[in-house]
Amino acid sequence: MERRKFVKSVGLVTAAAYIGPKVFGNDQIVKSYGIEGVPASEFSPLPFAYNALEPYIDARTMEVHYDKHHRAYYTNFINAIKGTPLEAVSMTDLFASISKQTDVIRNNGGGYYNHLFFWKNLGAGSAGPSAGLSEAITKAFGSFDKFREAFNTAAKTRFGSGWAWLCLNAEKNLAVGSTPNQDNPLMDISLVKGIPLLTLDVWEHAYYLKYQNRRADYIDAFWNVVKWEEVNKRYEEAVKIR
Ligand code: MN3
């Protein structure tokens, strides 16, 4: 049996069996989503003002999060790949074989990409999921409320630092899960795998100034600032790629 079909048919992708780009069509992901291409030569601007998400995410948190945390991941990542062939490798291809890289590249490459992605799926005054995405949500979770509950549970139960995700998996189904530290669903070592559609940073630096230890309140507030236009767009494109 062709290896790719075997991987798909067993529905389980282990680090050893994972063949990266062929399973997930990574070349196409890169074409569709700029942030999954080769690392940017300059630190990308935040796509909204620091106070744009008030009162749900406060300006001071956004400033520190973007200008200190995200910038540090970017700088450390760029310094780690400088003068190496990785400068010309797309983020999706890098993540597809991240198990072969150092912890510095895994943590900072993940931190660089995850935050770029997070900023893109945040915005004020957004409509909800499209008809197509709503249908997929109902199919996978039963209802929108059940999806939100599953996502919230993933976000709340991630012990320590990490991220909650909604992604489209290799079977073209929506899946919710979480990753530790700066891992993400494009990484070969991740237990939850797929094309990311929506994410939430649950590191304490993302909410502590305003919410202190109340991660659940931060997670509830997050739903007010999800930029559904972006999630809808990613879903439509991800379905085509699959
Ligand atoms: Mn963060």
For 92-120, how does the pLDDT look when each residue is reduced to its tens digit (9 = 90+)? 999 999 999 999 999 999 999 999 999 99
Q: Which residue matches tokens 């209802």? A: 143
Residue type, 157: T
Rounded distance from Cα 127 to ligand 1 centre (Å): 25
Please say if the pLDDT value at position 3 is more than 90: no
Rounded distance from Cα 1 to ligand 1 centre (Å): 42
The pLDDT, as a whole number, for residue 25 is 61
Same domain for 90 and 31, yes or no, is: yes
The strand order across the sheet containing 162-168 reads 174-180, 162-168, 195-201
In a domain, 68, yes or no: yes
In a domain, 53, yes or no: no
Rounded distance from Cα 2 to ligand 1 centre (Å): 40
In a domain, 48, yes or no: no
Question: Model confidence over 156-188: pLDDT tens digits?
Answer: 999 999 999 999 999 999 999 999 999 999 999
Check which CATH number belongs to the domain holding 201 and give it: 3.55.40.20
Rounded distance from Cα 66 to ligand 1 centre (Å): 8
In a domain, 125, yes or no: no
Lowest mean per-residue pLDDT among 7-16, 27-36, 65-74: 7-16
Residue type, 126: S
Contact 81, 39 (CB under 8 A): yes
User: Of 120, 145, 161, which residue is a domain's last?
Assistant: 120
Rounded distance from Cα 112 to ligand 1 centre (Å): 9
73 or 9, which is more confident: 73
Same domain for 237 and 160, yes or no, is: yes
Same domain for 147 and 194, yes or no, is: yes
Same domain for 176 and 78, yes or no, is: no
Rounded distance from Cα 118 to ligand 1 centre (Å): 9
**What domain range is 105 assigned to?**
3-38+58-120
The pLDDT, as a whole number, for residue 19 is 42
Helices (H), the chain: 3-10, 21-24, 26-32, 59-64, 71-81, 91-96, 103-120, 131-141, 144-157, 208-211, 215-222, 228-241
Same domain for 166 and 223, yes or no, is: yes
Same domain for 91 and 179, yes or no, is: no
Rounded distance from Cα 182 to ligand 1 centre (Å): 9
In a domain, 126, yes or no: no
Please say if the pLDDT value at position 28 is more than 80: no
Q: What is the mean pLDDT of residues 25-45?
A: 85
Please say if the pLDDT value at position 225 is more than 60: yes
Same domain for 146 and 227, yes or no, is: yes
Q: What is the mean pLDDT of residues 224-229?
A: 96
Please say if the pLDDT value at position 41 is more than 70: yes
Helices (H), 121-178: 131-141, 144-157
Rounded distance from Cα 99 to ligand 1 centre (Å): 22
In a domain, 142, yes or no: yes
Average pLDDT over the chain reads 90
Rounded distance from Cα 4 to ligand 1 centre (Å): 34
Lowest mean per-residue pLDDT among 25-29, 71-75, 179-183: 25-29
Q: Which residues contact 166 (CB under 8 A, 6 or more apart)?
A: 147, 151, 174, 175, 176, 196, 197, 198, 199, 231
pLDDT above 90 as % of the chain:
83
Backbone dihedral angles phi then psi of residue 165, each to the nearest 5 degrees:
-140, 145
Contact 195, 123 (CB under 8 A): no
* Number of compact structural domains in the chain: 2
User: Of 68, 91, 120, which residue is a domain's last?
Assistant: 120
In a domain, 43, yes or no: no
Same domain for 108 and 151, yes or no, is: no
The pLDDT, as a whole number, for residue 15 is 37
Contact 167, 136 (CB under 8 A): no
The pLDDT, as a whole number, for residue 20 is 43
Q: What is the mean pLDDT of residues 49-66?
A: 98
Asked whether the CA dihedral 8, 27, 72, 221 is positive or negative, the reply is negative
Please say if the pLDDT value at position 22 is more than 80: no
Rounded distance from Cα 70 to ligand 1 centre (Å): 7
Same domain for 63 and 166, yes or no, is: no
Largest alpha-carbon pair distance within the chain? 55
In a domain, 52, yes or no: no
Rounded distance from Cα 58 to ligand 1 centre (Å): 14
Residue 55's alpha-carbon distances to 48, 124, 128, in angstroms, are 14, 10, 20
Please say if the pLDDT value at position 12 is more than 60: no
Rounded distance from Cα 203 to ligand 1 centre (Å): 6
Contact 194, 168 (CB under 8 A): yes
Same domain for 89 and 62, yes or no, is: yes
- CB burial of 5-17 (b: ≥16 within 10 Å; e: otherwise) equals eebeeeeebeeee
Check which CATH number belongs to the domain holding 99 and give it: 1.10.287.990
User: Of 101, 120, 139, which residue is a domain's last?
Assistant: 120
Same domain for 146 and 165, yes or no, is: yes
Same domain for 20 and 114, yes or no, is: yes
Rounded distance from Cα 131 to ligand 1 centre (Å): 31
